Amino acid sequence: MSRLVVLVCPQWPVVAAGCRADEAVAVLHTNRVIARSRAAADAGVRVGQRRRDAQARCPALRLVVHDASAEARAFHRVVDTVAEMVPRLELTVPGTLTFAARGPSRYFGGDLAVATLLVERVEAVLGPSLAAIGRVGAGVADGRFAAGVAARLAARAGQPEVVVPGGSGALLADLPVGLLADVGGLDRAVVDLFHRLGLGRLGDVAALAEADLLARFGPVGAVARQMAAGLDDRPLGAVEPAPGSAVEQAFEPPVDHLDAVVFTARSLAERLVAVLAADGRVCTQLAVTVVTEQGERSERVWSRPAGLGVAAVLERIRWQLDGWARRLDEHSAAGVVLVRLEPTEVRADDGAQAGLWGGRSQADEWAQRAVARLAGLVGDEQVVMADWRGGRLPADQYRWVPASLGAGGGAGPSSSAPAAPWVGALPAPTPASLYPEPVPVVVLDRHGRAVGVSARGVLSSEPVQVQAEPIAAWAGPWPLDERWWDPRGARRLARFQLLTASGRAYLATVERQHWWLIAEYD
Amino acid sequence: MVAAARSSSSADTRARLAELIPRLGAAAPAAERTMPMHPALDGLFPQGVVRGSTVACVGAVAASTALLLLAGPVQAGSWGCVVGLPTFGPGAAAEAGVALERVVVVREPAAAAFDESTWAQALAAGVDGFDIVVLGAGRHLRAATARRVQARLQARGAVLVLVGAAGAFTPDLQVTGRADWHGLGAGHGYLRTRRVTLGLGGRRLPRDRHDTLWFPGPSGVVERAGAHPSPLHRQAG
């Protein structure tokens, strides 16, 4: 069990966005608040709130869109400060720093001394921008989750929190189970389920047998128990990779353009991910080392429990270089001579992030951002996804739900294809084009008379012409009498399939003795 | 004498090139630059569709072809976006193999039509966030806007599928289709199967490609007609 120090700058996105001490600011991601300033919190703005609700609570609220790379760049000030005290840092998300307590503790004289010094130095660097969020927290504990929780408690209390060795379980036992999602990054649905099952505190989860949780929830359950008991060291199943799996690229001549380095790093990242994938593994913790021609080094450890795909690796390299390049520019214009990627922790790839072409979660993330952007542009109700609900007419079979509810998983449309055909619907294929408004047409028989359908569903004569175009084949009528008990929703119509001589196939209806084209098979 | 020297130097160059080629190949894997397509389109796009390209679907099966183009990338985990296509039929999309949980549709409100700049911005946002964007033909976009969107497409590595007339866009590839329906008679039967002949042309292709598909076939799936050579009993029309 390793002892870790975690430094947390609460509400980091707000600090990165720049905020005066008394200003109400909220950072939004996919239409929900992910961080808010202290003034906004006083006005009732909460993390997780929808944009509209937040604005209703606090009309003067300044809204900022979440920008992960800007936040990572801004966090580099903190990272650089801490890097002067501790050589090897681990970053998961901007705003949180983790490192092993053992070495620094011995050097600075104890866990508490490290934590106090850490907070002092970081607060000195952040200075006035800190006023909007409160205090920085530093926590020392056994286990990753416990240390993270301790750091959050410390930020709230305003003083470092050091948990005695072996005391992580006792610290966590009385805390709410929701922390597993807030701090531990566990699936919110699972944590909610714990709640509904009566497991309100972390101690309740820790008291269960691991085998039972594993049986009921799968690997997530086992992870949750480890966390709740303060025993999580690294993600479940993670191991150190085989030696020699590091990849590196030397540049000759040195490259002094950031984009060029990232571009080359792409093939490096692809190689790394492909090598690991060949063993069925995915990297969860990665050390990125960059060396300049002047001999300056930047070494950072990046971790991501969901696994690092090519796009995620590149994003981290860019974050690291961005922050570093800014500082280097002040001293020299040295070019980069070496980029080295070394996986420090891998686990079996269980498909949480699939594919070599960028990773599924990355595509989801992009789509989620684009949905938020589109919703802002054209309105939430106009950006939709199809949700199957069944019906006899093609236009009734799907309903449209706002994509902001569904994109990227969560409470979105289930959309699962129907298992069996819908009774009363025409068999597949379904027309590819559904007319938003039915098109009125004239259908004639051999003698040029309008074709009608009687109330009993009997055709007056054979249709041979639709809108002056000969009909090559047709079938129907298939009558439909829907909602006859409801005077306003009642519909009585007969359906036809018409194939014209030019090869175009339509779905037509006769409703109140008029012919309409409602869809085309094109 | 001179000619001999030139030929020996060109042989040298060729040898050096031959040495380089495998290394170049490793640096930029082809799979990274193309998007996987539905297996039924193997005949037309054996290597998938190159990222950044614009594909126009015209002819009698334009809408279905666009859905089939959408199906491949979305099945492979990408997200798709449908813009300016009020006739989009989710049922047919699902039948073509599109995973609808990764398809976002941008609709135009009936009351207030979007102006050109809104469409341009929506399209740009779509290209930025989605790997494949389907655009209906009804929108009139200016040529300058279309050029900008296509430049963004290249930078982002997305694919744009146009349904119907290309309008202001310059398509890299054009799919033309003809349909032949089976199953419908004179007052009986249903539209059951469709034999679709697709032709692919474009400025990047040395010669046009043709392929025949069952869309859908007798078992309800979309497949190349080569896999099912015997046509169904054709109902008298």
* Top-ranked range on mean pLDDT: pick from A166-180, A239-253, A304-318: A166-180
**Percent with pLDDT over 90 in chain B:** 35
Residue of B nearest to A395 (CA): B89
The torsion region of residue B97 among left (phi > 0), alpha (psi -120 to 50) and beta comes to left
What percentage of chain B's residues is helix, strand, coil (to nearest 5)?
Answer: 35, 25, 35
Assign 3-class secondary structure to B44-94. CCCCCEECCCEEEEEECCHHHHHHHHHHHHHHCCCCEEEECCCCECHHHHH
DSSP assignment letter at A424: T
Q: Please, which residues have CB within 8 angstroms of residue A76's CB and are 6 or more apart in sequence?
A: A319, A322, A323, A324, A326, A327
Of B105, B122, B185, the CB nearest to A386: B105
Question: What is the tally of helices (H) and strands (E) in chain B?
Answer: 6, 11
| Test mutation, A273, A404, A430, A502, chain B, max B CBs within 10 A | A430
> What gap in Å lies between CA A474 and CA A460, rounded to an integer?
15
β A96-100/A62-65 pair status: unpaired
A504 and B CB contact within 8 Å: yes
- Cβ distance B187 to A474 less than 8 Å, yes or no, reads yes
β B54-59/B49-50 pair status: unpaired
β A469-482/A465-466 pair status: antiparallel
Of B28, B104, B187, the CB nearest to A371: B104
Given a contact cutoff of 8 angstroms between Cβ atoms, the answer to whether B77 and B98 are in contact is no
Residue B139 has pLDDT above 80, yes or no: no
Mean pLDDT computed over every residue of chain B: 83
Strand partners, A383: B106
> What gap in Å lies between CA A276 and CA A261, rounded to an integer?
22
DSSP assignment letter at A305: T
pLDDT tier at A212 (50, 70, 90 boundaries)? confident
Of B32, B102, B187, the CB nearest to A475: B187
Residue A360 confidence (pLDDT): 46
Given a contact cutoff of 8 angstroms between Cβ atoms, the answer to whether B205 and B211 are in contact is no
Cis bond leading into A477, ω under 30°?
Answer: yes
Place of tokens 């000969």: A470
Residue B226 confidence (pLDDT): 73
Q: Please, which residues have CB within 8 angstroms of residue A485's CB and are 6 or more apart in sequence?
A: none
* Region A308-334 average pLDDT: 72
Q: Please, which residues have CB within 8 angstroms of residue A486's CB and are 6 or more apart in sequence?
A: none
* Region A480-484 average pLDDT: 85
CA distance B2 to chain A (A): 36
Residue A237 confidence (pLDDT): 59
**Percent with pLDDT over 90 in chain A:** 17
Given a contact cutoff of 8 angstroms between Cβ atoms, the answer to whether A372 and A359 are in contact is no
Cβ count near A160 (within 10 Å):
27
Residue A36 has pLDDT above 70, yes or no: yes
* Top-ranked range on mean pLDDT: pick from A340-349, A415-424, B170-179: B170-179
* Cα torsion angle, A341, A347, A349, A354, sign: negative
Cβ count near B113 (within 10 Å):
9
Residue B160 has pLDDT above 90, yes or no: yes
- Cβ distance B89 to A267 less than 8 Å, yes or no, reads no
CA distance A520 to chain B (A): 9
Contact residues on chain A for B220, CB-CB shorter than 8 A: 428
Give, for A471, the enclosing helix (H) or strand (E).
strand A469-482
Contact residues on chain B for A383, CB-CB shorter than 8 A: 104-107
* Cα torsion angle, A313, B54, B132, B30, sign: negative
pLDDT, tens digit, for every residue of A133-186? 778 899 999 888 899 999 999 988 888 899 988 888 888 999 999 888 888 878
β B132-135/B159-163 pair status: parallel
- Cβ distance A377 to B60 less than 8 Å, yes or no, reads no
CA distance A9 to chain B (A): 30
Rounded to 5°, the CA angle B80-B82-B88 comes to 120
- Cβ distance B235 to A504 less than 8 Å, yes or no, reads no
Residue A314 confidence (pLDDT): 81
> Nearest-CA neighbor of B36 among A355, A14, A443?
A355
Length of chain B: 237
Longest dimension (CA), chain B: 83
* Region A348-357 average pLDDT: 49
Backbone angles phi, psi at A291, to 5 degrees: -125, 135
- Cβ distance A370 to B128 less than 8 Å, yes or no, reads yes
CA distance B181 to chain A (A): 8
**Chains A and B: how many Cβ contacts under 8 Å?**
195
Query: Residue A61 in 3-state DSSP?
Result: coil
Min mean pLDDT across A35-49, A106-120, A232-246, B58-72 is at A232-246
Residue type, A477: P
DSSP state string for A68-125 = HHHHHHHHHHHHHHHHTT-S--EESSTTEEEEESHHHHHHHTSHHHHHHHHHHHHHHH
Give, for A169, the enclosing helix (H) or strand (E).
helix A168-173
Of A367, A474, A521, the CB nearest to B104: A367
CA distance B12 to chain A (A): 25
Residue A352 confidence (pLDDT): 45
Strand partners, A62: A25
Given a contact cutoff of 8 angstroms between Cβ atoms, the answer to whether A246 and A345 are in contact is no
Of A383, A417, A497, the CB nearest to B191: A497
CA distance B212 to chain A (A): 16
Mean pLDDT computed over every residue of chain A: 83
Residue A372 has pLDDT above 90, yes or no: no
Q: Looking at this predicted complex, what is its ipTM?
A: 0.82
Which tokens hold the place of A58? 């606090």
